[in-house]
A and B are shown apart, each in its own frame.
Chain A
Amino acid sequence: MPVITSLINLKGGVGKTTITLALAHFLAIEHQRRVLVIDLDPQTNATVCLIPETEWKQRDETGRTLYQLFADQVKGTQRFDTDQAIVRNVSNVGGGVQGLDLLPSSLQLIKIQDRITQLTDFDNYQRGPIFALRKALEGFLPYYDHVLIDCPPSLGIVTLNGLAISDSYLIPVVPDILSVLGIPPILDRVEHFARATRHNIRALGIVISKMRAQTILHNEMVNRLRDDFQARRFPMVFETIVPESARIAEAADVMSPVNTLQQKYGNGGPYEALSALSQEFLAHVTR
């Protein structure tokens, strides 16, 4: 069975999608792992970083995105077909990366999120479509070495579907005041969910992203996060720090032609950092 990792933070813009995509690419290309990216975020950012938006649109209109999975729960239909929904060998690197697959999200999830939430009992999770994703992926997971789940910036029903199949989670943070504030509620909520569903979900660690090394605040917050880990308040903080970089931002353009990861992320800082992050990630998940 694969290692299934959710990337979570209650705050948006902390690098969840960036780190999901970078790990997926490096695991698939540099470590020859079979990787499935599940985009649970209705913003659909990871999806349109891996496939052209025209292709996403076509898939969305024909029920081949996660919208259909959750719409089925609300409407009582069974139209979602996992095999049809998974997009194989995605990415702009070399025209598609062998072994890097995507289960695409949909903007339409925004429309039904509230309705799914109404079906759910958040105290003991006995009622509601908490395990819809798990059921849909039965039979498909053994094909992969890693599943990376890009979660929306909330701990609602869609994120819980991701956690329900995860055996670990990563918390990307920008080392600033607001994104660090969200860490304790995540730890509490995931622990509560894991206990209620009798399912072990390991906090793999905190990944610092969008680091501006020249900023005093960022440096202070990194030290604080590491101190909090020493004091056992927070999970381990990854040694690798992902820098703020225009090149990483540009890497989101799936229409940009690239042949290698060095070209995608830019030689030097960003590429080196993301490569190191994938190695560190592998070392922790296999521990």
Chain B
Amino acid sequence: MSHDNSTNHPGDETEASAEVMALAAFLRELATRAERDPAFAAGVLAIARASGLIPQLSDQPMSQAAQQTPAQRTRKAKTSASANAGKAGKAADTQPTMPPDPFKVMRAKGEVGLRATLDALDLSTLRVIVRAHRLDPARISARWTNRDRVIALIIEQTRARLNHGKAFDRV
């Protein structure tokens, strides 16, 4: 009796399908946790985007580029190039960063600290924060292109939720 190693053994198929099952179970678990835990979902999303696994969804790539003059585009490209050159040495050490939790920041640094933290973020990251913490369930801010407006929303909603129930203290 001879065995042909090039063909699949029935056991291999079982093993392969077991692997597929395990992968499917892992992805299901990941999806379940992501749905239950917005902060976890935001973290996974940030890593996936940084690794290029999921394309970076810029909030204004087309409109902003379309509105810029050629001179503006050149200036921006130069600024970006020099910034990249400065960061080149550090690039390898850069880890994908999770968007900050506005509740933790406001508890630790107060409203001024939260505003300073948010001021350093781009619109797309601000939107990740809004979505991750369901700060705008009606999504009325989805069309806002003004960063300051989104920052004001995050601060207002964070403050409101942190103060939620305080009026009921010691009635």
Contact = CB atoms under 8 A, between A and B. Distances in A.
A107 B171 contact: yes
B86 interface: no
B34 interface: no
Given A53-B164, A107-B171, A258 B157 contact: no
Contacts of A258: 138, 140
A247 B137 contact: yes
Contacts of B160: 255
Contact of B157 (A247, A255, A266): A255
Contact of A257 (B134, B138, B165, B167): B138
Nearest to B156: A255
Contacts of B167: 48, 53-54, 56-57
Question: Among the interface residues B156, B157, B163, B168, which one has the most CB atoms of the partner chain A within 10 A?
Answer: B168
B132 to A, nearest CB: 15
A258 B140 CA distance: 7
Nearest to A92: B138
Interface in A102-154: 106-108
A257 B134 CA distance: 12
A60 B161 CA distance: 21
Interface residues of A, number: 21
A48 B160 CA distance: 13
Nearest to B134: A250
A2 to B, nearest CB: 30
A108 B171 contact: yes
A259 B140 contact: yes
A107 B168 contact: yes
A247 B167 CA distance: 25
B166 A257 contact: no
Interface string B131-171: 00010111110000000000001001100110111111001
30 contacts: A44-B168, A48-B167, A53-B164, A53-B165, A53-B166, A53-B167, A53-B168, A54-B163, A54-B167, A57-B167, A106-B171, A107-B171, A250-B134, A250-B137, A255-B160, A255-B161, A256-B136, A256-B138, A256-B157, A257-B136, A257-B138, A257-B140, A257-B153, A258-B138, A258-B140, A259-B138, A259-B140, A263-B139, A266-B137, A266-B138
Interface of A: 44, 48, 53-54, 56-57, 60, 106-108, 247, 250, 253, 255-259, 263-264, 266
Given A53-B164, A253-B137, A257-B153, 19 more contacts: A44-B168, A48-B167, A53-B165, A53-B167, A53-B168, A54-B163, A54-B167, A56-B167, A108-B171, A250-B137, A256-B138, A256-B157, A257-B138, A258-B138, A259-B138, A259-B140, A264-B138, A266-B137, A266-B138
9 smallest A-B Cβ distances: which pairs? A263-B138, A53-B167, A57-B167, A255-B160, A107-B171, A258-B138, A250-B137, A54-B167, A257-B140
